[in-house]
Structure 1
Amino acid sequence: MSWLLNHHRVEPSGSRLNRISAISMPSVTPAQLNVAIDEIIKLNPPSNTCVSFFRGNALTLYGKSKQFLKGLAITILPVLLLTGLIANTFITTFSNYSKSAKIRRTLLYSVELGRLIHYLQEERDVSALYLTSIEEKTKLLLLERYAATDKSLEELTFWTIGPTLIREEFQSKEKFLSYLNKHRYELSTLQLSIVHELEMYTTLIRVFITWLYDAITEEQSGSIWRSLVAYQEVVIAKEYMGLERALGTVYYSTGHFSSIDVYLVFLESQDIANATFLSAKRYSDLVHDLYEKNINVRMNTFL
């Protein structure tokens, strides 16, 4: 009877399922489970290499690493892009600042050179006038020109190092000023000719004009290159006009030119001044407008 009761005894379902599982399913190791999952994934292969790299089962260690890299890439990529944009903006801004600073230095140096050339031209004119008419009034005017030239020379922030340094007086600012003062002293003590005086100052001025040519380049001047070239042409035209004026002063003081060569220099100065000033007006409309404005003012003054 006991065997019959045991035969019809109802066991709990959970215990029965565990027994069935133990009989029907063998134990599986984690490595075997990874292999089985990989086999399932291979049934749906990725469309490209990038998807293949980031695809993986999150249950496996290798898949977890891929998922971590994917999340890290999604987080870091925008940061890297933003950093790149900021770096590019900084580099562009710094480059523009450096270029603007270089243009500013070129502009200031050109203005300083132009101012020095201007005062040397005035000193040349008054020196020639002094030799033709040695009067106390002319001497005082000449001393004023000396002071103005010295001040413009002192304000020159940069002394060019180049081929002109083979001349001893151009090796430094101090040597140039010493040379200039020596000549000024000789003007009062020695009997110098007017032509010699004009030639001496003109030689010095032409050296500084060469420096001005070297300073104004398209690479260093950027967008204001045409304006600086116009300024350079005005300075050169002014130099030849000044030489023409000085030689004219000599002519009206003495009644004649000392030689035919001096007369030819006078005519040449006229032609070069006119041609150079015409070139300046072509480079900049401002030069033309200022010229016309001054002409109209002077005409109204005389009328």
Structure 2
Amino acid sequence: MNSCKRVHPSDGEGIVGRSTSKASILSQSPSELNVAIMDMLNVRQTPTKCDILCRGNPITDAGKRKQMIKMLSVVMLPVLVITGMTANTFAIAVGNYISSSNVRQLLVFSIELGALLRSIQFERDMSALYVSNIKPETKDFLLQRYPDTDLAVQNLSNWPKGDDIISDMETPERFLSYLNKHRYQLDVYNQSVEAELNFYSNIILVLLKWLYDSVSESSTGSVWKDVVAYQEIIVAKNQDRANVTFESARFYSQIAFDIYNAELAKNPNVSERIEEFRNRIKANNYSRESASIKEAELWFDNMTIYQGVLTRTQNALALTIDKSLAKESQEELKSVITICIVFGVILIVCPLVVFAVYSLTSDIQKYSISIANSTKALNKEKQRTDMLLYQMLPKSIAEMLKRREQVDAEQYNESTIFLSDIVGFTAICAQSSPLQVIDLLGNVYTTFDERIDVHDVYKVETIGDAYMVVSGVPKHNGKRHASEIATMSLDLLRNVKRIEISHLPGIRLKIRIGIHSGPTVAGVIGTKMPRFCLFGETVRIASKMESRGKANRIQISQATRDLLLAIGGFDMEERENDVVRREILNAFPGMTGRTYWLRNVDGLNRRASEHSSSSETEDESCCTEKSGGKFCTI
């Protein structure tokens, strides 16, 4: 027969007395941390699409990014709105500033264009006077106007361009060439007055069109009315009925009319003289022989004075418009500078906000990890504490105590109590040191604890070498309490025979077992170190059954035997009528019947083999194959 290998139950991890180091508690895998954080945040383990997009575990990089995006959205949304409004205001201010600058440039161009128109008008008048053949001296008047016209053309800061411009006026050079050609041909072709007036009037019409095209209502902003009045003054210098034109100018700008009246007041009679000359010209009572150069000079002198009034009005109005535009430009420039400062502040603040949110998110992540570690460690400690408490008290009673509920003693009408001790324990202790005794008891009770987990029983307590187990308490299990204790007893007896005493070779461990079934009372005793205790005659009978038993045998009472017999499958043998049996019966007068030895139960070897196959090899089971089946040595 093969010898059995020694089994060390202490090699298995016990529940009590096994402490976990702090480092092992705090060191957690990413999955454990994830579960802890999800539990802390109360996040569903099966997240929805909204959870996937909006929520996340802050200890992960993805969750950290989601948290930062949400926080940045809250912070940056008003910043972006303010930035958009500021940008819109900035665009408007820049547009107004550019528009004011353009209007000022166009105003300068209009002044230059007005000077050119005035020069062309004077040249037209002198040229018409010359071709009328009044006197040869008028040639000198005409020649004096040519340089003024040429200078006015050269002083234009901008020359209009476009498809509708006639070829002779595409550039200043071509226009001067066209004008000089006409001047040269003036004496050659002997032009008429009408032809001369038409030539210059056509040029003036083109220049007036340039004036209207250069300044429009849409491009002059808030001063467009004054600019239109300015245009009308320029046009008035080329029209016969200036009063009508000035009424139009007054309609657009009271400032223009006030300036005109102020300038006209300096020459109060010029309007009447001009109107008188116009009436005489319209009457046309003069012939070539009666024509007077002096009268012509008076007409031109008065018109010159009137043109001067218009010119000064034009210049004064231009200055007024320019001041207004300069003021607006300055205000718009201040607005642009202010908005640029605001933009600069935003550009400085935004990175700081992003950095602050990132730092805050990182701190939250670190804090979450710290909380997760602490929570996980606390949960592990709580589990260890609960496990220790469940070893001291039944789980149901322990839960009631944790809820601070009162636990009253309870009567159990049906229960079976198991008691055992080690045979010759005193002699073994005499041959062993205290540490060896503790190691021995540790091995025995660890084996017992491992085996009773297979059965529906509850370990009540261990005192020295005594081991007490009950079934049917505190959890009711009907009539099965006797069979559970009986099966467990046979299982323990079978396993304890395999335990060797390492420091006492050759000595086998033997135990006595006593079992009795009956009613009992159970309750929690004590507050600082509460214990679950059993009381009643059933306990005393079970103790007597154990103390008066024999080594490696299980003594049961008549009550237990009857319950097992009703269940069936148990092999029991009546104890002979010896002195010990009579002593037991005499100790408990109310106890009737006999005592029995529990020998075996059907299927015990099969169940034990199935349970041990997961942790032991075939050699360790100490089984040998023989004909007819497998037999195990105990």
Do the structures match in fold with TM over 0.5? Answer: yes
Matched, 1:200 2:199: yes
Matched, 1:276 2:245: yes
Mapped partners of 2:228, 2:112: distance in 1: 15
- Residue type at the aligned position of 1:134: K
- Residue type at the aligned position of 2:136: E
Aligned to 1:145: 145
Residues 268-296 of structure 1 deviation map (CA, whole Å, 9 limit, x = unaligned): xx4xx432221012111122112222332
Aligned to 1:103: 103
Residues 68-102 of structure 1 deviation map (CA, whole Å, 9 limit, x = unaligned): 66777789789867866775565444323322232
What are the residue-to-residue correspondences of 1:253-272 with 2, within 5 Å?
A: 270=241
Aligned to 1:173: 172
Residues 137-190 of structure 1 deviation map (CA, whole Å, 9 limit, x = unaligned): x3333222111100111112333234543x432233222211211221222344
Larger radius of gyration: 2
- Residue type at the aligned position of 2:100: S
Out of 294, 300, 303, the residue aligned to residue 263 of structure 2 is: 294
- Residue type at the aligned position of 1:149: T
Q: Is the alpha carbon distance of 1:99 and 1:240 closer, same or farther for their aligned partners in structure 2, counting shifts above 3 Å?
A: same
Q: Is the alpha carbon distance of 1:197 and 1:18 closer, same or farther for their aligned partners in structure 2, counting shifts above 3 Å?
A: farther
Alpha-carbon offset, residue 115 of structure 1: 1.3
Q: Is the CA contact (8 Å cut-off) linking 1:106 and 1:221 kept in structure 2?
A: no
Q: Name the SS of the counterpart of 1:299 in structure 2.
A: coil
Unaligned 5+ residue runs, structure 2? Answer: 1-14, 45-49, 273-634
Mapped partners of 1:197, 1:159: distance in 2: 25
Q: Is the alpha carbon distance of 1:206 and 1:76 closer, same or farther for their aligned partners in structure 2, counting shifts above 3 Å?
A: closer
Alpha-carbon offset, residue 223 of structure 1: 1.9
Of 222-231 and 186-195, deviating more is: 186-195
Q: Name the SS of the counterpart of 2:220 in structure 1.
A: helix
What are the residue-to-residue correspondences of 1:9-48 with 2, within 5 Å?
A: 19-21=18-20, 29-42=29-42
Aligned to 2:183: 184
Aligned to 2:136: 135
Matched, 1:220 2:189: no
Residues 234-265 of structure 1 deviation map (CA, whole Å, 9 limit, x = unaligned): 12221013xxxxxxxxxxxxxxxxxxxxxxxx
Q: Is the alpha carbon distance of 1:150 and 1:31 closer, same or farther for their aligned partners in structure 2, counting shifts above 3 Å?
A: same
- Residue type at the aligned position of 1:277: F
Alpha-carbon offset, residue 28 of structure 1: 6.7
Mapped partners of 1:191, 1:43: distance in 2: 105
Of 206-215 and 68-77, deviating more is: 68-77
Q: Is the CA contact (8 Å cut-off) linking 2:37 and 2:57 kept in structure 1?
A: no
Mapped partners of 2:257, 2:169: distance in 1: 35
Aligned length: 246
Aligned to 1:232: 231
Mapped partners of 2:191, 2:62: distance in 1: 99
Q: Is the CA contact (8 Å cut-off) linking 1:106 and 1:220 kept in structure 2?
A: no
Aligned residues: percent identity? 40
Q: Is the alpha carbon distance of 1:116 and 1:72 closer, same or farther for their aligned partners in structure 2, counting shifts above 3 Å?
A: same
TM-score by length of 2: 0.34
Q: Is the CA contact (8 Å cut-off) linking 1:212 and 1:232 kept in structure 2?
A: yes
Aligned to 2:523: none
Alpha-carbon offset, residue 57 of structure 1: 4.7
Aligned to 2:572: none
Residues 21-77 of structure 1 deviation map (CA, whole Å, 9 limit, x = unaligned): 58xx9x974413421431342279xxxx79x9477555x565555556677778978
Mapped partners of 2:189, 2:64: distance in 1: 100
Mapped partners of 1:171, 1:67: distance in 2: 67
Give 1 or 2: higher strand fraction.
2
Q: Is the CA contact (8 Å cut-off) linking 1:164 and 1:170 kept in structure 2?
A: no
Mapped partners of 2:36, 2:198: distance in 1: 102
Q: Is the CA contact (8 Å cut-off) linking 2:169 and 2:175 kept in structure 1?
A: yes
Q: Is the alpha carbon distance of 1:193 and 1:226 closer, same or farther for their aligned partners in structure 2, counting shifts above 3 Å?
A: same
Aligned to 1:255: none
Aligned to 2:155: 155
Q: Is the alpha carbon distance of 1:33 and 1:77 closer, same or farther for their aligned partners in structure 2, counting shifts above 3 Å?
A: same
Q: Is the alpha carbon distance of 1:77 and 1:54 closer, same or farther for their aligned partners in structure 2, counting shifts above 3 Å?
A: farther
Aligned to 1:264: none
Q: Is the CA contact (8 Å cut-off) linking 2:215 and 2:227 kept in structure 1?
A: yes
Q: Is the alpha carbon distance of 1:160 and 1:289 closer, same or farther for their aligned partners in structure 2, counting shifts above 3 Å?
A: same
Of 218-227 and 68-77, deviating more is: 68-77
Alpha-carbon offset, residue 300 of structure 1: 8.4
Q: Is the alpha carbon distance of 1:185 and 1:61 closer, same or farther for their aligned partners in structure 2, counting shifts above 3 Å?
A: closer
Q: Is the CA contact (8 Å cut-off) linking 2:159 and 2:172 kept in structure 1?
A: yes
Mapped partners of 1:163, 1:73: distance in 2: 54
Alpha-carbon offset, residue 206 of structure 1: 1.0
Q: Is the alpha carbon distance of 1:192 and 1:30 closer, same or farther for their aligned partners in structure 2, counting shifts above 3 Å?
A: closer
TM-score by length of 1: 0.66
Q: Is the alpha carbon distance of 1:57 and 1:91 closer, same or farther for their aligned partners in structure 2, counting shifts above 3 Å?
A: same
Residues 197-254 of structure 1 deviation map (CA, whole Å, 9 limit, x = unaligned): 112111111111111122221122222221121111112221013xxxxxxxxxxxxx
Mapped partners of 1:221, 1:174: distance in 2: 30
Mapped partners of 2:200, 2:192: distance in 1: 13
Mapped partners of 1:190, 1:43: distance in 2: 104
Mapped partners of 1:28, 1:179: distance in 2: 97
Mapped partners of 1:121, 1:73: distance in 2: 69
Mapped partners of 2:63, 2:17: distance in 1: 31
Q: Is the alpha carbon distance of 1:37 and 1:17 closer, same or farther for their aligned partners in structure 2, counting shifts above 3 Å?
A: farther
Aligned to 2:122: 122
Q: Is the CA contact (8 Å cut-off) linking 2:34 and 2:57 kept in structure 1?
A: no
- Residue type at the aligned position of 1:236: V
Alpha-carbon offset, residue 124 of structure 1: 1.0
Q: Name the SS of the counterpart of 1:19 in structure 2.
A: coil
Q: Is the alpha carbon distance of 1:36 and 1:236 closer, same or farther for their aligned partners in structure 2, counting shifts above 3 Å?
A: same
- Residue type at the aligned position of 2:107: L
Mapped partners of 1:65, 1:283: distance in 2: 63
Unaligned 5+ residue runs, structure 1? Answer: 1-15, 242-269
Mapped partners of 1:180, 1:64: distance in 2: 80
